Amino acid sequence: MATAEAEMAKLYHPYDTLKAIGFTETEAKSFLSEIGNAVSKQASKLSAKTSEIRVRYGAQPSRLRESYLKGVMFVAWGYAFAIWLYVIAMQLFYPQSVYWPLAIWLPLRLDYLGEAAFIFSFFLAAAIAIWNTKMDYRVGRHHHKPNVIAT
């Protein structure tokens, strides 16, 4: 197989083919050099794009982790919100239900669960709001705004 490829390489000469179809010697040389330049330009563009793609995909796992954590926070907030709404609904329909224990073996009452869920959902909502607005809670400003007061 290797010998057949070597023979084909000996038989095919683009320079001779161009001369055979009517190109002059200088035209054939310039045509082949232009093709070589175009191929090298394409190769350099391709290598630049692949390095850019590598850089872009290198930063992607942190974004995926961030979106995963944001999703977990939203789900946790939803459950906490639903729990304290459930406690409110139970109190409306059964006023004595706030004193009911959650389980026989658990000394936690329903009203304690509602209070804890309310506080947890409040802090999660605040954390999600800060994260979505990119607010720096230490400075109280957005990252893209300067900290200098204009005079």
Question: Residue 48 has which token pair?
Answer: 């630049």
pLDDT mean over 37-65: 66
Question: Residue 53 has which token pair?
Answer: 């793609």
| Residue 135 φ then ψ, to 5° | -80, 135
pLDDT tens digits, 1-30? 566 666 655 655 666 777 777 777 787 778
pLDDT score for 133: 75
pLDDT score for 122: 93
pLDDT score for 79: 94
pLDDT score for 6: 64
pLDDT tens digits, 74-124? 999 999 999 989 989 988 998 888 888 887 888 888 888 888 999 999 999
